[in-house]
Structure 1
Amino acid sequence: MPALVGRFRRAKPAGVPYAKEMSAHPAGRLIVMGVPGPELNDGLRDLIRRIRPGGFIYFTRNMSHAGQFHALVRECRDLAGHPSIFTVDQEGGRVSRLAVMGERPPSGEDLAQAGREEWFSEHGRLTGRLMQAVGLNLNLAPVLDYAPPERKGVDNSLAGRCYGKHPREIIPRARAYLRGMRSEGVAGTGKHFPGYTFCGLDPHGDLPLVDRPKEKVEAEELSVFREVGKECEAMMIGHAQFPAWGVNSGPASLNRAIVTGLLKDTMGYRGLVMTDDLEMGAIANRYGSAEASRQAVRAGEEILLVCHNPACAEIARDALAEMPEQAWRPAVEKVAAFCAGLKEPAEKFEEGNWQQINREIGEFRKKVTGRG
């Protein structure tokens, strides 16, 4: 896996101090949290100072225009008080958070239909430039699931998002995308390990069951994660149940046999490991924020995504703080090292640069799809 330290890091600008060190519990570093709107109020600022999270995830609710959003990212940086993750889902197509402020890139399916590997690399470079322009340093992309024809029409959240119909198509395309994005200083996240391809439900609503033999999963779904994982700075664990790794095991994201046993020990993955959003129905319908957070850390995750309710982020931090130090300390150290290798948000937003990148994305979409 590519080294991060020294590749992305930029020193904190002089004269812009971080928030003063707070008496916050170090386990807050394992939380990447969402905030509710385009601006922070005093109560939310105080909560961020108390948690001192490892990062922030943003959605369209946080974006009115690019200059405002860049300022929000910078304020979150200062409040956190340490180098942090600033992330969105910027895949292309319908999962393009930044499109609310500009152009919509082509989808994974659009690129797959065009079939030109060099366009995946171009997509990665444009995505990296776009994210850097507003201070983001980690993308929750690419999707490493695939879209076999027999699964067309299944409502499992993947429609239009996959890079191909077969694992062998995904591997070179995802690698090209990640390398393009990395060349612009943005890290990538493979998702949704060990695979949503054969889910029958959308995990945003409830827990899907993937009842496939272990040897099938290992030969097909895992072949992509095994190969592309070498290029992924981070890996997201999905909320699907895989009985092949424990009949009553619950979601993969809370299953130590999958997170630690399969991904880390068997496959040798050494990057940052994160949950999908712990507020999704697949988790929230079965677990409270505290219990889900404890189980995720016991399973082996280093980052817990708490995307919508800031109060849930504080509940999660408090639950981790009650665990023995040996349960969370190694993950805190890993997150700190990871963040030290990421670029920090630039102090100044360049409107002209933002507009130029969006013009190029619009032209790229037309080239890929043949449509305006």
Structure 2
Amino acid sequence: MHGQLLLLGIKGLELSANERHILQKVQPGGFVLFGRNVESPQQVRALTDSLREICDNPPLICIDQEGGRVTRTKEIGNIPPSAGQLSQADNPSAIAWHGTLTAELLIQLGCNMNLAPVLDISYDDECDNALRGRCYGKNSQEVITNAGIFNRNMRRQKILSCGKHFPSCGLANVDPHYKLPVVDKSKEDLLASDLLPYTALMPELNAILTCHTHFSALDPGEPGLPASLSKNIITNLLRNQLGFDGVIMTDDLDMGAIINTYGRGNDVKMAIQAGNDMAMICHQTDTTEAALAALEELPYAEIADSLKRIAKLKKKIPKTYPFDQKKWDKINNDIMQLRVEVLGEEGAQDQSDHIQNSRSPVEDY
């Protein structure tokens, strides 16, 4: 039961016997795939099929398939344009096509949720805060328009969506993969800017992912508390004030902003008690049983609403269909055509996805 509150990473290209044993015992609510899990389309599909087989309840099978440098399938196919490139091209039909192609690709791989769209505003395209190139606009209206087009077209194909990173990572001046960013913006200013994409698109999002950034004006009595562990931000602001009734999940708790301060077990308990429905452990998967043991200390009354929201979301998981190589090849070719439409013939051929001078590991996962 408590395992449903966990979203877990997988170590490699297939489940080891020990990994299978632990996951069958834990029965997590879902999984998150990364580049380390990708060798070929057929291999990924075999992996996702095996994840479904070991779960008593249908699992969420998530992936960060944003486009650009955050494309987990970059080693096995063409890389779609990034959100930043799509926004700069000012081509709504290309964004819609990107949403459709992303969903079609994930269906072939057996994934059912994309950890996208990014709803952060790009205040500084040069800031090394892990978001360069990943934002759909430089103001709230651009993000609402562009991310909304992507999201609607992806969800039309039944792939579930997750807006991120609530309440805002665009304001961060450091990378939370390494340490905790601190933002001083007031709630009133956030409501008039960074939170507008969430309030506008909330009815069209299946889930929202919370960020590892401290907001000093929102948590003045809790110095250094990340938003992802803040009851004030998650329960009071997102759930009660803004009225979001979908699944709320943390960003990866293995990031430096969390793991440098909070021990495994304490972090997942704090995450759920703050109002998240699911806690994400992407890399230190050997700590899964410790995380479960900590969650099992929470009484049923504290997790009942989360379990109901997770079960409700899982009813929307789409039916899986056999892998189709011809469909995969067509999707891959169409992604290249999308690149040409957005970047031009010459730009489309350069699929280097690294941002110069970036230190963020986000593109390497």
Do both share a fold (TM > 0.5)?
yes
User: Secondary structure of 1:99's match?
Assistant: coil
Q: Pick from 62, 67, 70 the counterpart of residue 95 of structure 1.
A: 70
| Counterpart for residue 240 of structure 2 | 265
User: Secondary structure of 2:232's match?
Assistant: helix
Q: CA deviation at 1:230?
A: 2.0
The equivalences for 1:250-289 within 5 A come to 250-289=225-264
| Counterpart for residue 5 of structure 2 | 30
Q: Deviations over 1:267-318 (max 9, x none)?
A: 0111110000010001000101200100011111111111112222222111
User: Secondary structure of 1:287's match?
Assistant: coil
Q: CA deviation at 1:344?
A: 4.3
Alpha-carbon distance in 2 for matches of 1:349, 1:83: 19
| Counterpart for residue 292 of structure 1 | 267
Contact 1:86/1:137 (<8 A) preserved: yes
| Counterpart for residue 195 of structure 2 | 222
Q: Pick from 312, 330, 336 the counterpart of residue 356 of structure 1.
A: 330
The equivalences for 1:87-236 within 5 A come to 87-148=62-123, 151-236=124-209
The equivalences for 1:240-255 within 5 A come to 240-247=213-220, 248=222, 250-255=225-230
| Counterpart for residue 360 of structure 2 | none
Contact 2:86/2:94 (<8 A) preserved: yes
Q: Pick from 35, 43, 46 the counterpart of residue 21 of structure 2.
A: 46
Q: CA deviation at 1:156?
A: 0.7
Which has the bigger relative contact order, CA under 8 A and spacing at least 6?
1
Whether 2:306 is the aligned partner of 1:334: answer no
Q: CA deviation at 1:164?
A: 1.1
Q: Equivalent pairs: percent with the same residue?
A: 37
Q: CA deviation at 1:161?
A: 0.5
Over 3 Å counting, the alpha-carbon distance change for 1:344 and 1:204 in structure 2 is farther
| Counterpart for residue 315 of structure 1 | 290
- In structure 1, runs of 5+ residues without a counterpart are 1-25
Structure 1 stretch 320-329 or stretch 194-203: which is displaced more? 320-329
Contact 1:209/1:241 (<8 A) preserved: yes
Q: Deviations over 1:311-356 (max 9, x none)?
A: 222221111111111112221222122112111433x211111111
The residue identity in structure 1 corresponding to 2:243 is G
Q: Pick from 339, 345, 356 the counterpart of residue 365 of structure 1.
A: 339
Q: Which runs of 4+ in 1 moved over 4 A?
A: none
The residue identity in structure 1 corresponding to 2:162 is T
Alpha-carbon distance in 2 for matches of 1:345, 1:135: 7
RMSD: 1.1
User: Secondary structure of 1:205's match?
Assistant: coil
Q: Deviations over 1:84-117 (max 9, x none)?
A: 1001000000001022211100001110110122
TM normalised by structure 1 equals 0.90
The residue identity in structure 2 corresponding to 1:146 is I
The residue identity in structure 1 corresponding to 2:117 is P
Alpha-carbon distance in 2 for matches of 1:100, 1:93: 13
TM normalised by structure 2 equals 0.92
Q: Deviations over 1:167-221 (max 9, x none)?
A: 1111111111111001111011100000011101110101100111222111110
- In structure 2, runs of 5+ residues without a counterpart are 349-365
The residue identity in structure 1 corresponding to 2:199 is R
Contact 1:27/1:329 (<8 A) preserved: no
Q: CA deviation at 1:245?
A: 1.3
